[in-house]
Amino acid sequence: MLNRASFFMAAQRIQTAQRGSLSGGQEGAVVALLEELGWVRRPSRLIDTRAAVDPKTFMHKTRFATRTTAPQEVDIACGLQGTVVAAIECKVTNDQTNSIKRVNDVLKKASAWHDHWGSFVETVAILQGVIAAKDVDRLTDANVHVFWSHDLAAFKDWISKRV
Identify the structural domains of the chain with CATH numbers, from first to last.
4-160 (3.40.1350.10)
> Are 64 and 82 spatial neighbours (Cβ–Cβ below 8 Å)?
no
> Are 144 and 122 spatial neighbours (Cβ–Cβ below 8 Å)?
no
**What pLDDT, on the 0 to 100 scale, is given for residue 23?**
59
pTM given for the model: 0.85
pLDDT digits (tens, 9 = 90+) for 104-120: 999 999 999 999 999 99
Q: Is the pLDDT higher at 16 or at 121?
A: 121
Integer Cα distance of 49 and 83 in angstroms = 10
**What pLDDT, on the 0 to 100 scale, is given for residue 20?**
46
Integer Cα distance of 30 and 34 in angstroms = 6
